[in-house]
Amino acid sequence: MGTSMRGVSVLGAIVLATAFVTGASAQDKPTVQSLIGQGFQIVGTIATQVGPGVFLQNKDKAFFCLVAETSTSSDVATRYCKPLH
């Protein structure tokens, strides 16, 4: 299996795992914007080697989201959000 196919498989596994854990379909995966719209507030940030991380919380629920941007991107986009347990 080539490197690009391995990356696609890993990405697919992450999307499926996120959808399973959050009970959402791939189309309904959480983003920073959607979580803020649900009443979550940003409670912290962290720099990682793969991009900025954002911690969001609403009462007893918390998520960690990884965001990304490039010099040519039109916005900062959510790469993924995962619930914290």
**How many structural domains are present in the chain?**
1
Does this model's pTM top 0.75? no
Task: Identify the pLDDT of residue 85.
Answer: 92
Enumerate residues 6+ apart whose C-beta is below 8 A from 64.
Answer: 53, 54, 55, 56, 81, 82, 84
The position carrying tokens 């993924």 is: 80
Separation CA 19–CA 12 (nearest Å) = 11
- Residue-range definition of the domain harbouring residue 38: 3-84
Nearest one of 15, 10, 6, 4 to 79, comparing CA atoms: 15
Task: Identify the pLDDT of residue 29.
Answer: 93
Separation CA 16–CA 66 (nearest Å) = 17
Mean pLDDT by 10 residues, the chain (85 residues): 46 42 62 97 94 96 94 91 96
Task: Identify the pLDDT of residue 27.
Answer: 60
